[in-house]
Amino acid sequence: MSYQGKHAPYATIPPWIVRATAAVLLAGSAATQALTLEERRELDLSDYTVRDVDASYFDVEERMALLRETDNSLLLQHREELAKYAPSCQQRLEIPTITDQMRIPGFYPTPDAWRLATEPLFDFEDTVSELAGAYVASDDDYYAECLVRFLDKWARDDALLDFHYHWEEPQAWFSLESMIFAAGMAYSVVRPHVEGLDEEQARVEAWLNELASVHMEIEGADSSCCNNHFYRRALYAAMIGVLTEDDDMFRFGVSAIHSALHDMTEEGAFPLEMERGRRATHYQNYALLYLIPIMEITHRQGYDVYDMEIGGGSMHDAVDFAMDILEDPAELGDLAPREQYTGFLKDNQYFAWMEMYRARFGESRFDDFLASMRPIYNRGAGGYATLYFMDPDVQRHLVIDDEGRRETQAFEGLSRN
């Protein structure tokens, strides 16, 4: 099964067989209780429409105004570093587009080959995120315009539309997810603030919508139809649905919220992520890395999704459970082994969602953990999360240790709950 081009069939196995097989597997699993593909398609989300095409996943103008006035040392340093070391537009425009069929080896069986193959993909994600961050940090239209020109180059070349997919070889399909939401989220930051590039912007938006539509045609096999990879697809769908005023695409993004809440256990666990065994904690957190930005995008369209409950549970329960098992693996109970993989705790990109959630709800429970991670950057799911979301009154009085590392000296009146 492979996708050979934007107008070619993507499967040698009929899609209905893939969908039916996945639905049977999910429906027959008492452990997951996940919505089947058919049940997800039958959700009535007609009340969700795009209300503000210019709304990013955060209030860009409000944040830029705050950054101009703040005296927070971390934000000031972060802003100045981004402005000082901002990317060269000409150099970024020289990055070659990807027009050949994309094939990526699997990460777990061949990590070295995967790293080599994904370097160009990560360069793309870093470029769009850095240009958006440089614009916010500097308030210089040069970076916003450069981002549009960069994406337009890829749009004119019909880049990324040709990728290999087989249910046993999904890595190119997986990798493309993050490229799409990186582009969509970065573009949303600059879209309303660019003038004189109407033709380029129209082309970028048409390409983003086509790219998302082509990728979404593949629903995934077994759990990838419905677990964190579904949430990743929903993230780009929510953002690009807003950018292109595509209500159906936006609703696909919103459907992840409904699906996650339906599947969630009474404790707040996502069952399909718990099935990862020793990586259950990592994948509970990983799911939130995409679900919380979807919540932010949807909330920015005027929908109070944080108040949504299904079966008595809300996304707050999933957040609480994630924090509980991060602090004490025994809280997993019988859902997963107590001996959990903890390597992800050394990488701040996995906690961009915490910065967003902390900014909205002001929970000090996150503060000690976030203080050791800041500034947080995720090249796709949130970009410069600390620059965009951190409350300037939360973290102050930073000191530099003998090896030049930032450490938190004190908080202002905040402690772990």
Give pLDDT tens digits along the chain (417 positions). 333 333 333 333 333 333 333 333 333 333 446 788 889 999 999 999 999 999 999 999 999 999 999 999 999 999 999 988 888 999 999 999 999 999 999 888 899 999 999 999 999 999 999 999 999 999 999 999 999 999 999 999 999 999 999 999 999 999 999 999 999 999 999 999 999 999 999 999 999 999 999 999 999 887 789 999 999 999 999 999 999 999 999 999 999 999 999 999 999 999 999 999 999 999 999 999 999 999 999 999 999 999 999 999 999 999 999 999 999 999 999 999 999 999 999 999 999 999 999 999 998 899 999 999 999 999 999 999 999 999 999 875 444 444 544 444 333 322 222
Q: What is the pTM of this model?
A: 0.88
The whole-number pLDDT of residue 4 equals 35
In a domain, 417, yes or no: no
In a domain, 13, yes or no: no
* Number of domains forming the structure of the chain: 1
Tell which residue, 189, 208, 250, has the closest CA to residue 50: 250
The whole-number pLDDT of residue 19 equals 38
Residue-range definition of the domain harbouring residue 168: 86-218
- 410: which strand partners? 396
Per-position DSSP letters for 83-139, written without gaps between them:
HHTPPPHHHHHTSPP--SPB----TTT-HHHHHHHHHHHHHHHHHHHHHHHHHHHH-
Which DSSP state fits 46? T
Positive/negative CA dihedral, 46, 48, 51, 52: negative
In a domain, 341, yes or no: no
Which DSSP state fits 227? S
The whole-number pLDDT of residue 33 equals 65
CA dist 270 and 287 (Å) reads 8
In a domain, 360, yes or no: no
- 52 in Cβ contact with 302 (< 8 Å): yes
In a domain, 126, yes or no: yes
The whole-number pLDDT of residue 303 equals 98
In a domain, 165, yes or no: yes
Positive/negative CA dihedral, 263, 56, 307, 344: positive
C-beta neighbour count of 335 within 10 angstroms = 19
CA dist 335 and 385 (Å) reads 31
CA dist 300 and 54 (Å) reads 10
Tell which residue, 129, 125, 224, has the closest CA to residue 176: 125
The whole-number pLDDT of residue 23 equals 36
CA dist 100 and 97 (Å) reads 9
In a domain, 353, yes or no: no
Positive/negative CA dihedral, 66, 180, 229, 307: positive
In a domain, 331, yes or no: no
Whether cis (ω within 30° of 0) applies to the bond prior to 170 is: no
User: Residue 163 is part of a domain; what is its CATH number?
Assistant: 1.50.10.100
C-beta neighbour count of 356 within 10 angstroms = 25
Burial-class residue 412 by CB neighbours within 10 Å (0-12, 13-18, 19+): exposed
